[in-house]
Amino acid sequence: MRTFDIPAHYRSNLIGRLKAFRKVQDPRKKDFTPTLLDLGAVRFILARHFGFCYGVENAIEISYKALEDNPGKRIFLLSQMIHNPEVNEDLESHGLRFIQDTHGQMLMDWGELKSDDIVIIPAFGTTLETEARLKSLGIDPLLHNTTCPFVEKVWKRSAQLGEQKHTVVIHGKAAHEETRATFSHTAKGSPAVIVKDMAETEELGRIITGELPAERFFELFGTRCTPGFNPAADLQRIGVVNQTTMLATETQAIADHLKQVMLKTYGEAALKDHFADTRDTLCYATNDNQDATHELLKEEADLALVVGGYNSSNTSHIVELLEGKFPTYFINGEKELLSSTEIEHFNYPAHKLERTTDWLPAKRPITIVLTSGASCPDTLLDRVMLKVLGFVEGAKDAETAVSALVE
């Protein structure tokens, strides 16, 4: 896999060396066991896979190269390039402006754009309608396009399903940029509907079998299906794709459930005519990070720290998995570690910041699971680790311990 030219301040001295060491040990990524960094009074258990993925590094490289190659030009980001505040704030500090927020609400008027402006498409991609808007202004939307190749893979698979006269069921969050983009690209060639979870999928299945009336479809999915959707006709042939940052196991469970619904409805002999196998749309990085998180759940620890943007879907799913076993704190970075007795963290289900006291146990040694989402720079984990060490007397020097482990 190719390497990318990203700014040095995103590279990590500690975590980066541990990752490089594991990569040499396990180049084919068969071993998902975590890495133990034993610092005496504090023990960190690090996931085998976390941090910047291929698509994120690709987006960062394109964005910073656009800055370097176009001095003096006005440069805009369509929306947050990735869901990490540190990266987006750094780009803004270089003079970039956002056109929209993460929900597609305008932060400026389209009329402010000129044909010689640079507009960067984020890693999530964008809708065909937005592409057309940019073209109408004389701006090539594909000139600085950072759309993740794995997102584009989902679009291509959706297009194939459309050509085969299948309706596309999209597992995703309807308000998320990636799902909005996937829905737009899919709707060009086929009917589409967005399901957010298994509960909605089960209701969709009962609509397909006729256990629930068509009216229930529009109650549930009226704002999340293509115009003119006809449940009686459009749910006879289906295939499932996903927002690439969703829980891979949930996407597979949704596909498996709908496959059984079609089997029950049409019989095994006709199954292939009514259900398309689409497991190839699952993102490798999402799979690796989630598989590595499942390995963390086999460990014993006092707490878990998950670092990433609070609007990051893939990070929220890591939190969701870990909090089933450990006291888990979702933080942007080291600034949320207010003291050895107080932490500010994000309650994802409630979508609000909270403060917790006595978060760091008095026992020694303390064992802490440490990981991050796919849009989080490894250098942030270095800083989190060092901040924790500053709270604990008698901990070994991290630089020395990392050197001893990898050499």
Annotated active-site residue in 86, 177, 178, 250: 178
Q: Which residues contact 316 (CB under 8 A, 6 or more apart)?
A: 330, 348
The alpha carbon of 356 is separated from its chain's Cα centroid by a whole number of angstroms, namely: 26
d(CA 289, CA 283): 10
Strands 352-357, 342-347: pairing kind: antiparallel
Q: Of 376, 388, 356, whose CA–CA distance to 310 is shortest?
A: 376
List the alpha helices (DSSP H) in 103-242: 128-136, 149-163, 177-187, 198-209, 214-221, 231-234
Full DSSP string of 299-320 = S--SEEEEES-TT-HHHHHHHH
Check if 112 is active-site: no
d(CA 230, CA 89): 44
Is 271 exposed, middle or buried (CB count within 10 Å of its CB: 0-12, 13-18, 19+)?
middle
Neighbours of 43 (CB within 10 A): 17
Our CA angle for 257, 261, 264, nearest 5°, is: 135
d(CA 265, CA 271): 9
Residues with a catalytic annotation lie at 178
